[in-house]
A and B are shown apart, each in its own frame.
Chain A
Amino acid sequence: MIQEGTAQSPVSPALTRSMLRTLGLVATLSGLLVVLSYRITLPIIEENKRLAIERALFKVIPGAISRQDFMITDRGIELAQSDLQGTALYAGYGQDGRLKGVALEAAAAGYQDVIRILYGYDPYCQCIRGIEVLKMAETPGIGDKIAKDPVFQENFTALEARANATGDGLERAIVLVKQGEKSEAWQIDAISGATISSKAIARMLNDSAQRYVPLIQNNLAVMEPAS
């Protein structure tokens, strides 16, 4: 803007000073206001995010009332610490303090954008107990049924995800079948009309479970309470 002004007409030093003064003042004021509102809202936003995760967590691990954060690292599963690098894993504990299940994030490309979900895994029945969509941009009324459709959600009350004997994957992969053709515990009934979104869910669950379920089974002792 300043250069444009210069090109059009000769700018007096007084005008330059006044432009600098105005822009400087406005920019300073703007910085102050932004920092102020950031500082004020930061704790509330953090709290909101924590609540959102917990709400999703307690939904995908039935019966859980408290949680503990862990990390999947190269060495196995460890208590979450700020300097640890790895995948977050949330363990949920029931009323009696026993481990009810663990929750993990999974993601895959959907119809419009990446779909991110949180899913709950129950290490005792070796099955997936629930999914909760965290972020998606699927078509309203069609693809977004993956989040709300009760029939589709029914797939995830006890979806088998059993670790194989060698401990490097699942005994039977999680697969998607056409609507109404689910006959085995490791199959997911697709939503007709929303095949791509359903496929994305099946793919991300399978990928994530193939990788992490054996690991979780081998490290259960870490997450079980000491008592």
Chain B
Amino acid sequence: MPGRPEQHEPVTLDTFLRGLWEENPVFVMLLGMCPVLAVTNSAINALAMGLASTFVLVASNSLVSLLRHYIPKQVRIATYIIIIATFVTMVDYAIQAISLDLYNALGAFIQLIVVNCMILGRAEAYASKQPLGATVVNGLGIGAGFTLALLSLGVVREVLGSGSLFGVSLFGENFQPWVVMILPPGGFFVLGTWLLIFAAFRLRKQRRTELGEVAQHER
């Protein structure tokens, strides 16, 4: 949302929904691709990563929004990074406390949330210009969109690559898993397919609106 400085928009359902669909961080904005490809080899990893990123996004952007009048623009990026890094460290400890297995599975990618451009991008483009309420709702929307995108990759990759979903075996003993799907190339395959589907949907919608406009003109 560049070019709308300090022009507060009303908080509506759309503020939330935009993150899920129109401005989906993964499928539309193509942000935060590193965790999207790296930790979506199982649904549970994808869900945990999505929730952790959502927490960091909402918490750090709330703080940025609260402090937005006091942050001089010369040091704003440094300030954002400190704030984001703080919440990432908290999430890091929290995940270690919740489950060591999950912590080992996610590996270095929890710490790497710090440099997820989705979060810094939201801080710069939205939270630094909008009041707390709108920031929280928008952050939740974007976070939900990110989690949804990760899950849609994780579910497909886990079902095809290990024959299970959330660790529950689906096809029984005789299923020969499609191992490449849980390896890095599988991430690219599945992401590419999802992007294709999303682009097709958007294109169709666009064409339909254009047709509608033409029809209105002719009437």
Contact = CB atoms under 8 A, between A and B. Distances in A.
B89 interface: yes
A141 interface: yes
A45 B72 contact: no
A38 B70 CA distance: 28
Given A52-B100, A140-B183, A41 B94 contact: yes
A139 B182 CA distance: 9
B90 A37 contact: yes
Interface stretch (B6-14, B74-82, B141-149): B74-82
A22 B96 contact: no
A48 interface: yes
A44 B100 contact: no
A220 to B, nearest CB: 32
Contacts of A98: none
Nearest to A47: B97
B3 to A, nearest CB: 23
Nearest to A43: B97
A165 interface: no
Interface string A137-151: 001111000000000
B177 interface: yes
Interface string B174-185: 000101001100
Interface of B is mostly: helix
A41 B97 contact: yes
Given A37-B90, A48-B96, A140-B41, A27 B72 contact: no
A21 B96 CA distance: 33
A84 interface: no
Contacts of A38: 93
Given A22-B70, A33-B86, A34-B90, A1 B75 contact: yes
Interface string A1-40: 1101100000100010011011101110110011001101
B78 A1 contact: yes
A49 B93 CA distance: 13
Nearest to B74: A5
A2 B182 CA distance: 45
B176 to A, nearest CB: 11
Given A15-B74, A30-B83, A41 B179 contact: no
Nearest to A49: B100
Contacts of A45: 93, 96-97, 100
Contact of A141 (B72, B87, B182): B182
Given A45-B96, A45-B97, A23 B90 contact: no
A178 interface: no
Nearest to A32: B86
A40 B94 CA distance: 9
Pick the most buried of B78, B87, B104: most chain A CB atoms within 10 A of its CB: B78
Interface string A38-80: 1011001100110010000000000000000000000000000
B153 to A, nearest CB: 15
Contacts of B79: 22-23, 26
Contacts of A21: 70
Interface of A: 1-2, 4-5, 11, 15, 18-19, 21-23, 25-27, 29-30, 33-34, 37-38, 40-41, 44-45, 48-49, 52, 135, 139-142
Pairs A-B, 5 closest by C-beta atoms? A141-B179, A5-B74, A30-B86, A44-B97, A41-B97
Given A30-B85, A37-B89, A140-B183, 19 more contacts: A11-B74, A19-B74, A19-B75, A22-B67, A22-B79, A23-B82, A26-B67, A27-B82, A30-B83, A34-B86, A34-B90, A38-B93, A41-B93, A45-B93, A49-B100, A140-B41, A140-B182, A141-B162, A141-B182
Interface of B: 41, 67, 70-72, 74-75, 77-79, 82-83, 85-87, 89-90, 93-94, 96-97, 99-100, 104, 161-162, 177, 179, 182-183
